Structure 1
């Protein structure tokens, strides 16, 4: 669809001559994904839907207990330190952003009175300013009012390098000004096509200045509210045992009428995905279970019991492998996998190319994940206009063997290839989870046939995804040769998702391993394309730049995508819940109710 026709359709919606539904049908038919079509309307001054779950209760409370099961247990409750999704989910119960993302990719106001648009004066024509108006009457759980001072403080807190926030990438290149008690202005250094990052979704949760003001910067980890939050969310904090159980109670002064429905909240952590699925689908001991990374055939059998149902939504999440090009076994200045080191063999592009050919993605999809994932060679898969059409995957053991032969890697007496005394022998880690262990086994078997030996390591999920800087087994440390996990795309635009390929986001001891570039790999061409995309207002040119960033890392075979993940959860039959693939599961928890 050319630019002229697209703009005419947008103008027709603004003039009332074309419904939003008809607009969405036309642009999706032309190859533009629904979430981006929604954003186009927002960017052009057309407000979108306010919520994706019709809410039927006529009063707050009365719903009894709500019991959630996160088999990867939360370990902290500060959203700006939450590098693991389970910590982000738990934090979002208590803290809220100015806006979140519904399952259709629509930007939905939460602490904001409205979504900024050109029509309401919220977006400047030059793409350099956004004005957010706060919802009046919002209170913190301690009764104090939410004001613009809290929003400005959240920016200062996250942007301060000494805070070492996981969300810092959303705040370092902006300036935030208070206009009045309920209005702030976000100022960008350059035209910014994707402005809905700071204060939005996973990265956008607002902190109370009166609880965190003394803990900005170097003292950030000492704040009591990191584990005992005071937020604006639908439930007030009661108790938290990290790695085990979190409890809350209904916030009587919540800012949405007749919400929340449930009187108490329990979030139980630990166990495994299979037992979590069983606890909802078969026994209904819990109301909702998150991230059911369970073989699809197992889920189908559980669903036959009739107590609950599987819920799936499209997302941009990706299951992938990182090949470490730094040395995880040599310590430099107190850290392993330092950017000051090079891996003995994985720095060789031929070795990485061979390993990529030894991954049977189609078997992993067919026999393990089913509804839970689609085989892919691209790190970005949704929305479709951001997916590379060039990247292809292939499973070919013979081809891998020839590449290694030609590169001079000879088999030793033990069958393991080596060159210059360096063996192709690697530690391959992931979290403890049946589909991941089965995927590891499939890859190990193929690698053996090519003379590559893999030692499989499995780490308890609550440890692997922990934000604990003292733990050597967290995925951000990458203290192994290769590792596998899923990373979540936090919004229907991949710009922030792809900053984990930026050189300035490398995870290091200095930033407490909260930098988003876990691979430690960088490429000047990728940095250049990423920075250009950040200020490119033409949608097609910007998409091409982001695709280039994706292709550079995938073609280098440092990042080996496996599956485009569908988000899979389970809910009991009488639970109305709002499951979005573009935000965390608890993004609209206040609107959940029992039918």
Structure 2
């Protein structure tokens, strides 16, 4: 069996080095001075294993790197290794239970010490530690062992047949940590290693010189970077915080910054900014979905943290009539128009891309307020006391609906609140600063992982073009809790034995068409059974200065995946 043909057709392999996206210019490292980047969601940590926030994953990707990653075409490319292992080249065993990575010789950490297979093995031990609360643990699902026959060889053995073995150490969400630096940070000690988590030693083009959580990161060119003459920039000023409007203006109108990420703004606002003439927006569609997560637990503040994280029925959100009526009441085309324009599409699926995995089961494009009311009436969820709020078994449909602070999200909240109240809900709105909401602080009550609300709205995505690890976020044991340091991506605390069993089948299925079929079924199970309400399939929209060269927007990996290739156009 040739693994390449056994995998999803959308997953391609490339033997081209990252220099494929390089500027082609030659010169001394640091020749172009400073580049300024603004992320209005400020990073709170430089260790993606301790945060589920995209802004933390992306900031860290400038410093710490994976063995392989995805390019803008969705192709898997070697990064710290000589080639992508496959069955055809002998890197993946014929029985699909083992993958062998060959590290490129001569790579050094930014402190000048050799990068070896021991660092890779340590990273697996770090994330797989049962007390570590690793936010990216689904990448290591099914891993039996990681061995190091020599300094440049890593052998990952899986518990069973694993047709898609590119979870561990691939993409911006699964980079390599230096074993020497993080040696004392295993297990429960992980979140307490402040120096390591804020200032990781890496193999990337830049090193951290100063990290102020939820504020500013200063970086300098890595003098031990493996590519001669790169990076072109000597320093990076990475500003976090503010809002998307200010970030967009800072690039396209004032020219104060060179790159602005995730411009979640109305299309007319983007167009007006572009008239400033200093920069241009760039966009691309990947698997990014704005959604409402439905709390499958009881979020009552009267309960302690352990009880609030236990998977059990919500007083009324566990009723299919309730969450399906909520979905029916939402006017998604209007949300797209108001929030995203051409950078958005009606979203009915958890996994809208790549196309092979996009289900066609649901049609959520038409709002039906009266149909939603009838659905609740038929289920006996009615207003018995005349106060305008329906009750389910005596419990009023009163919900706390939270999200991060952002103009588009607050517009969405206001619209959805009105629609839900039209069908008999009472809705309280709450928004939290994005740096806190998407932060990894296990002590904060306001993170999206803790989900101390009934509904919460955000978007996330996954690296690469195969969603196996992403779909693992629906597994029962991936729910955040005190025992996991509140890490884990099963935010809804969704739990179905049938889902777990089907995902296990996906992990052992080689046929591309069958993998896609199972993936679509898992998507449908999550949506049909009250894990979430998808809203908008979002394009990634960012902006860069007219003078910034080398930018290649990547919807399948970190947007900063090739920051070492950026340069100043003369």
* TM-score range relative to shorter protein: over 0.9
Query: Which secondary structure does the structure 2 equivalent of 1:151 belong to?
Result: helix
Cα distance between partner residues in 1 of 2:337 and 2:304: 45
Q: Quickly say closer, same or farther: Cα 1:212–1:494, change in 2 above 3 A.
A: same
| Equivalence map 1:143-542=2 (5 Å) | 143-174=112-143, 175-223=145-193, 224-330=195-301, 332=303, 334-335=305-306, 337-339=308-310, 341-393=312-364, 394-411=366-383, 412-542=385-515
| Runs of 4+ deviating beyond 4 Å | 48-52, 330-333
Aligned to 1:53: 21
Is residue 118 from structure 1 mapped to residue 118 from structure 2 by the alignment?
no
Cα pair 2:41 2:243 within 8 Å, conserved: yes
Cα distance between partner residues in 2 of 1:210 and 1:236: 17
Cα distance between partner residues in 2 of 1:230 and 1:536: 37
Q: Quickly say closer, same or farther: Cα 1:191–1:419, change in 2 above 3 A.
A: closer
Per mean C-alpha deviation after superposition, the further-off stretch among 364-373 and 115-124 is 115-124
Aligned to 2:564: 590
| Equivalence map 1:123-142=2 (5 Å) | 123-142=92-111
The Cα shift of 1:331 comes to 5.1
The Cα shift of 1:330 comes to 4.8
Structure 2 unmatched ranges of 5 or more: none
Aligned to 1:578: 552
Query: Which secondary structure does the structure 2 equivalent of 1:202 belong to?
Result: coil
The Cα shift of 1:346 comes to 1.2
The Cα shift of 1:217 comes to 1.6
Q: Quickly say closer, same or farther: Cα 1:283–1:406, change in 2 above 3 A.
A: same
Cα distance between partner residues in 1 of 2:154 and 2:164: 18
Please give the TM-score of this superposition, normalised by the length of structure 2.
0.95
The Cα shift of 1:83 comes to 1.1
The Cα shift of 1:51 comes to 5.1
Query: Which secondary structure does the structure 1 equivalent of 2:50 belong to?
Result: coil
Is residue 555 from structure 1 mapped to residue 525 from structure 2 by the alignment?
no
Query: Which secondary structure does the structure 2 equivalent of 1:237 belong to?
Result: strand
Cα distance between partner residues in 2 of 1:240 and 1:203: 20
Cα distance between partner residues in 2 of 1:340 and 1:199: 30
Cα distance between partner residues in 1 of 2:93 and 2:148: 17
Residues 310-343 of structure 1 show CA distances to partners (whole Å, capped at 9, x for unaligned) of 0102211111011112110155553353325432
Cα pair 2:31 2:234 within 8 Å, conserved: yes
Report the number of matched residues: 562
The Cα shift of 1:419 comes to 4.0
Cα pair 1:330 1:336 within 8 Å, conserved: no
The Cα shift of 1:218 comes to 2.2
Cα pair 2:11 2:466 within 8 Å, conserved: no
Aligned to 1:25: none
Q: Quickly say closer, same or farther: Cα 1:147–1:420, change in 2 above 3 A.
A: closer
Cα distance between partner residues in 2 of 1:462 and 1:231: 23
Cα distance between partner residues in 1 of 2:554 and 2:262: 12
The Cα shift of 1:125 comes to 2.0
Cα distance between partner residues in 2 of 1:258 and 1:336: 55
Structure 1 unmatched ranges of 5 or more: 12-31
Please give the TM-score of this superposition, normalised by the length of structure 1.
0.91
Aligned to 1:14: none
Q: Quickly say closer, same or farther: Cα 1:425–1:51, change in 2 above 3 A.
A: farther
Q: Among residues 45, 54, 77, which one is paired with 1:108 in the alignment?
A: 77
Cα distance between partner residues in 2 of 1:49 and 1:395: 48
Query: Which secondary structure does the structure 2 equivalent of 1:191 belong to?
Result: coil
Cα pair 1:235 1:250 within 8 Å, conserved: yes
The Cα shift of 1:558 comes to 2.9
Cα pair 1:578 1:592 within 8 Å, conserved: no
